Structure formats: structure tokens, C-alpha cells
Amino acid sequence: MNYLTRLALLIVLVFALVGGFNFLVDPYGFYWSPALKGFNQQKTRADERVREVTPYRALALQPDTVLIGNSRVQLGIAAESKVLKGRHAYNLSLPGAGLAETLRHALSQARYNPNLTTLIIALDYRYFLHNYSQSPGLWSQEELLDTITQRPEDAVERFMRIYPAVFSLDTLFDSVRTIAQQGGTYNNITRLGSNTGGYYLDAIKAEGKKRFFRHQFGGLFMRFGRKHLTYQAGGEVYSIALLTSFLEEMKKAHPKVELHFFINPYHQSYWQVIYKSGHWGSYLQWKRDLAGIGERYPEYAVYDFSLPGEQTLEPLNYEQDRQLMTWYWEPAHYRPKLGDEVLKVLLHENSSSKTADWPIRLQQHTIERAIVRSIDGLAQPD
């Protein structure tokens, strides 16, 4: 056999080996390969492709209950939670997901998942901020709906997006790293889309809370400090209009789907960041506007968990520098233990919270109480 023939055969062989290996390890969870403990069960590299994988798996699995939000929900609510027992739940939350992206995935689920009964959607103040210089006011219903409407991929498009990844060097490196990182403290996207938060465990263990939180606070101040983002312009609130448009569509086209909204349970120190960044006034206005939504659409509850309570007022406890907080990974992200409390309230089970005013369902007659509680919470010593 001459050199050229050997080379050609070996090229084909190496291609096949790499493709087969990547398919077997399935580092992003694309291919439904068996998840073997100690080999590929923890998808430690899945967050690299989370925007492709998570929506894809959610549509393929067709769960009855879908959790949607940003990284707070991804890290804070486990789709595997006991509270969700009896349901087929999936966490379709994506880090950094803005309101439009969140609603787009929610609408996709409503339209293309025949099993869907319940959508649990987290509302995040930061993602209601909008750059009004890019899209000035007076948006039509069609425009708003267009923003959150997504055509589903056809089979060919899906195939072309998913399968070429087995023939990728990045995937190969991620396959190797997935195997090497089994059992370690790394972020791991579970088969149901939740993030186990290994990164936080590792960071707090290595750096200590004080140092790590200082870094996180720096990032939060930077994000809230961006000048072009504001809540409203000239009395108009784009994000509220977008949410209203979504609700109209849900009411009209998918009335049987239960919708639960909630404001993420921010830690008290997070409220301080909002306050010190000069956003406190619009943050309270945002709650008022959500109460307006709650009033207008009584069939869809909006719960405010961002209020003082045993959990949200948990001391940062820098004295125990390497010890995790009970309810929070860090001030911007809560842990699944707190996520369970949220789920219990939303799904009408009893919360174990000892505070009677936590949470508050936002409506016209409750909003002033929520505002007073918010201001009280801000004033608590941190």
C-alpha cells in the first residue's frame, strides 16, 4: 500500500475516531449519549454551548413544566427538586438572558411543546432596563410580538447545527476536559438544564467569600452603571410593553398554560447595589408596573420575593470566610434551597418561611405594602 493510500485511510480513520469519541462523551448534551458516572455524567463543559443545547433539549424533551430565567434561575432552581415531584420539569434558563430572549423561549414552548402545562418565569429588574436610543417609543403589537417570536428549526437546520459539532476540535478538547473534570467542583449543566454551581463552591473555597464577593460586587456595579440603559423614557416602558404583548398572546392562543411570574429573591446587598447605582427609584416603579400587570391579568400571578425575609437578609458572615452562605451562592445568585421555597409558593404549597410578608403577590392592593417592605429591607443593617 503506497503512502498516499495509507494517509487517506488514516485521515478517514482519525475523523471517524474523533467523531465517535465526541458523540460518545457528548460534552454538551446534544446527542443523548448514555451518561456514565465517572466518565461523562457531569457535563462540565456544557455551559460553553448552553444557548444551543438548552433550548434544543427543552423542545426535544417536551416537559410539562418549564422554568425560564437567567443564570439566577439556572443556578437557583433545580429542575430535579423534590418540590417538582410528579412533574416532568426542565430548566430552560440561560445566563445573561434578557427579557426578550426569556419570553421568546417561553412562547416557543407554548407553541411547540404539546405537553406544556406550566411556565414559571423569573423577572429580573436589570433585564427590564432598555436602550431607548436604539428603539424609540410607540411600539406596535406586531413589532413587539415579532421580537419574541421564533420560527422553530426544521429537521435539516437542526441536524446541521447539532451534528457538525462532533467534527470539531473545540468539542474534542471539551470531551477530554469533561472526562478529566468528573468528580471535580465545576459548573455542571444537568440533563434537566440546571446548573449545579460548582464554580461557586470552588471560588469560595479558594478565594474566600470576602474576596470573591468583592469581585462580584465590582461586576454588578459595572453592569448597573452602564449609562445608556434606563427603565423608562418619556413615561414609556419598553419591557413592560413587551411583557404585555406576551401575555396577550398567551391569553389568546394558549389559555390552558399556567403562567407563574416571580421577582427573583435578591439578597439585601444586591438591593444596596441597585440603590447605590442610582436605580432605586425606577426599581420601585418597576414593582408598581408589575403590580399593574398583576391586576390586569389576575389569572397570571406575579410574586415578589425580593423583600426582606429570613433568607434575603442572611448575613454575609465574612468571619466564616470559606463557608458557603445557607441561601445564596453569592449576593446575585441564590441556591436551590431558596429556589425550593420559591417553587413551594408558586405551586401553592406552604413556604417554610417564617416571615408572613415574604413573598407578596403583586396587585394594586398589595403594592404599597411591597414598597414599604422593600424600603424597610434596604434600611436593614448589612
CB of 213 to another protein, least distance (A): 12
From the list 36-44, 65-73, 95-103, 210-218, the region that binds another protein by CB under 8 A is: 210-218
Look-up of cell digits 452603571: 225
In Å, what is the CA distance from 22 to each residue of 9, 56, 190, 221, 272?
20, 18, 18, 40, 46
Using CB under 8 A, which of 80, 208, 280, 295 touches another protein? 208
> What is d(CA 10, CA 194) in angstroms, rounded to the nearest whole number?
40
Q: What are phi and psi of 118, to 5 degrees?
A: -135, 130
Question: How would you class 299 by CB atoms within 10 Å of its CB: exposed for 0-12, middle for 13-18, buried for 19 or more?
Answer: exposed
Helix (H) or strand (E) holding 157: helix 155-162
**By the rule CB under 8 A, 2 interacts with another protein:** yes
Give the nearer residue to another protein in terms of CB position, either 296 or 322. 322
Does the protein bind another protein through residue 15 (CB under 8 A)? yes
Nearer to another protein by Cβ, of 46 and 257: the residue is 46
Pairing state between β 118-123 and 65-68: parallel
Using the rule CB under 8 A, is 324 a contact of another protein? no
- Interface with another protein by CB under 8 A: which range of 31-39, 96-104, 165-173, 238-246? 165-173
Binding of another protein by 169 (CB under 8 A): yes
The answer to whether 221 contacts another protein (rule: CB under 8 A) is no
CB atoms within 10 A of CB 251: 14
Contact code string over 171-200 relative to another protein, x by CB under 8 A: -x----------------------------
Binding residue for another protein (CB under 8 A) from 137, 152, 183, 218? 218
How far is it, in rounded angstroms, from Cα 180 to Cα 25? Answer: 11
One of 31, 167, 275, 280 touching another protein (CB under 8 A): 167
18 binds another protein per the rule CB under 8 A: yes
**Whole-angstrom distance, CA of residue 283 vs CA of residue 265:** 14
| 160 is an interface residue for another protein by CB under 8 A | no
162 part of the interface to another protein, by CB under 8 A: no
Least separation in angstroms between CB 17 and another protein = 9
How far is Cα 321 from Cα 337, in angstroms, rounded to an integer? Answer: 20
Whether the Cβ atoms of residue 193 and residue 50 lie closer than 8 Å to each other: no
CA dihedral 55, 61, 62, 67 (to 10 degrees): -50
Strands 301-304 and 328-330, bridge-based pairing: unpaired
CB 42 within 8 A of CB 182: yes
Residue with Cβ nearer another protein (1 or 356): 1
Largest CA distance in the chain: 85
Query: For residues 31 and 167, which CB has a smaller minimum distance to another protein in the complex?
Result: 167
Kindly report the number of other CB atoms within 10 A of residue 205's CB atom.
Answer: 13
For another protein, give the closer residue by CB, 112 or 173.
173
Contact range with another protein by CB under 8 A, out of 47-55, 116-124, 201-209, 324-332: 201-209
Residue span binding another protein (CB under 8 A) among the ranges 211-219, 227-235, 274-282, 297-305: 211-219
Positive/negative CA dihedral, 181, 184, 188, 192: positive
Is residue 6 a contact point for another protein (CB under 8 A)?
yes
Residues that bind another protein (CB under 8 A): 2-7, 10-11, 13-15, 18, 164, 167-170, 172, 203, 206-208, 211, 215, 218
